[in-house]
A and B are shown apart, each in its own frame.
Chain A
Amino acid sequence: MSNYLIYFLVAVGLFAFAALFALFGVYAERKISAYIQDRLGPTETGKFGTLQTFADILKMIQKELIIPAKADKWLFVLAPVIIFVAVYMGFAALPWGPGLVPSKINIGLYYVFAIISIETLGILMAGWGSNNKYSILGAMRSAAQIISYEIPAGFAIISAVMIAQSLDLQVIATQQGVASAETVKFLGFWDVTNIGGILSWNIFRAPHLIVAFVIYFIASLAEANRAPFDIPEAESELVAGFHTEYSGLGFAFVFLAEYSMMFLVSMIGVVLFLGAWNTPLPNIAGLRLADWTTGIFWGIFWVAIKSLALVGVQMWIRWTLPRLRVDQLMNLCWKVLTPLAFACILISGVWRLWLM
């Protein structure tokens, strides 16, 4: 029975993490945007405004859940839950440290990729259920965008999988450090199995994976509906896109899903390309930095730091770049990213055959 108790605890822990991260993420986003735009951001509530998002969520919980008279009530109420659950279920397969993964699945990466695609369905439900022109336009844009960008993202992921030869995220993670069972070569010629650190990360095992990582990162921005790909909720055109009609807890769930999604896609990127829970510090002769900084707690620390750094870049991009037009968006996806991702797959195949 204690087994099941642990399962429940892990599930609740992941939910608590997602919720806490969303609170922290909204605060960070406000502070970063304020810094970029030369403002101060929240300052009044708590020290440096740290309690601002807690106050916001308290306000949201108290608010009335308004359901528009002509909305499809069931779809309208269920949509935010499905959007969030889709993202939340993705966390089940992600590794946090050596031997520390909520659910060890042989095809973990494929599972995460599948689960994320359910989010589209939730967004379409929200758009249709709201019975509002802005919502439906936003939902359609979002679906078109997510379906298109799944292709370059998928190919970038495949080119990393071809190097790693596994779909199990924990196996992919283990390969990129001193714990690796097989020989790891830096750029295909220098054996760094015992040196580890940043040198054995996937992006340095095969340099074309840097390109694949950039493709994945751009596509993941689009999948998380983040700027510069935020045309589904373009404020200046569509009020708030697919979540125009949501208030109170429904809106909170949509927001929670967006921030969890940011963390989820960053963490997948970290696991696939940036060494997962492995330390960036290499062993230098007698200075066994990599051995000292590998372990369960170090693993959690590194994976969290790297993912948070990527989330930080996502926020930085959001407040720096203007939004793309729909046609520019599709051009970028189909004419630039997809062919590049195909090239990455080809190079991966050649690399695997001749250099590894």
Chain B
Amino acid sequence: MTLVKIMFYILSAIALASALYVAAAKNLVRSVFMFFVTLFALAGLYVLALADFVAVTQIVIYVGGILVLILFAFMLSGRETLEVIQSQKSNFINLSKLPAVLLAVMFFVVMFVALRQINVNEADWVKTAVAEGNVIKPDTVLIEHIGINLMTRYLLPFEAISILLMFALVGAAHLSRKEPQA
């Protein structure tokens, strides 16, 4: 077993265990902090897949942005609100959990079947890519490819996303504005 494989198994184990804790824990704030561990382990998995830019972006956006905002919401909402959420009855078998369970099972079946049917290492496009040497090496500079592709091939989606974000910004500014005194 190579070091990379060992790292992969350790990181996946951490990601799975912490994700389970996030889903199962009663203490909401702790589960948010545990989510941080999940995201970090995921970033490690991305690095092992040679997608270092995705890994760092994951940390910047999810850990530096979204997690902090979630925590902000928690801290502004006060203990009583949190206790109401935390003291909800949760039997192991519960009708309200049915959609989630169905979704999870169906997703699992799809993934399992897909994994059984496709032999990833034997796929045609993988073989041709390996034969042509069209593969990413650990020292490849990925950001240049990302930049060029964003400005040429994916320019339209890129601009569409930027307009969407602009909408969100304008909307947020409008919502947080003080109402004029009537």
A residues whose Cβ falls under 8 Å from a Cβ of B:
72, 74-75, 105-107, 110-111, 113-115, 117-118, 120-121, 124-125, 127-128, 136, 139-140, 143-144, 147, 150, 167
Q: A72-B30, A125-B33, A128-B29 are in contact. Are A167 and B68 (CB under 8 A)?
A: no
Q: Chain A residues with Cβ under 8 A from B29's Cβ? A: 72, 75, 128
A107, B53: Cβ atoms closer than 8 Å: yes
Q: Is the CB of B56 within 8 A of A121?
A: no
**Complex: how many Å from CA A150 to CA B63?**
14
> B178 to nearest A CB, angstroms?
14
| CB pairs A–B below 8 angstroms (14 shown) | A72-B29, A107-B56, A107-B143, A111-B56, A114-B56, A118-B59, A118-B63, A120-B64, A124-B75, A128-B75, A140-B76, A143-B71, A143-B72, A147-B65
Q: CB within 8 A of A121: which of B30, B36, B53?
A: B36
CA of A130 to CA of B68, assembled, Å:
17
Dominant secondary structure of chain A at its interface with chain B: helix
B14 beta carbon closer than 8 Å to chain A: no
* Measured CA separation A195–B111 after assembly (Å): 61
Q: Which residues of B are in contact with A by a Cβ distance under 8 Å?
A: 27, 29-30, 33, 36, 52-53, 56-57, 59-60, 63-65, 67-68, 71-72, 74-76, 139, 141-143
Contact B68 A106, beta carbon cutoff 8 Å? no
Contact: B67 with A115, CB < 8 Å? no
Report how far A277 CA is from B64 CA in the complex, Å.
30
Chain A: CB-nearest residue to B71: A124
Chain A residue nearest to B52 (CB atoms) is A107
A121–B60 CB distance below 8 A = no
Return B160 CB to nearest CB of chain A, in Å: 22
Contacts A107-B53, A117-B59 given: A167-B64 contact, CB under 8 Å?
no
Given A72-B29, A114-B56, the answer on whether A128 and B71 have CB atoms closer than 8 Å is yes
- Inter-chain CA distance A114–B47, complex, in Å, is 14
Residue of A nearest to B58 (CB): A114
Does A74 contact B52, Cβ atoms closer than 8 Å?
no
User: In whole Å, how far is A50's beta carbon from the nearest beta carbon of chain B?
Assistant: 38
Taking the closest CB of chain A, its distance from the CB of B173, in whole angstroms, is 11
Does B52 lie within 8 Å of A121, measured CB to CB?
no
Chain A positions within 8 Å of B60 at CB level: 110, 113-114, 117
Q: In the bound complex, do residue B68 and residue A120 qualify as a contact, i.e. CB atoms below 8 Å apart?
A: yes
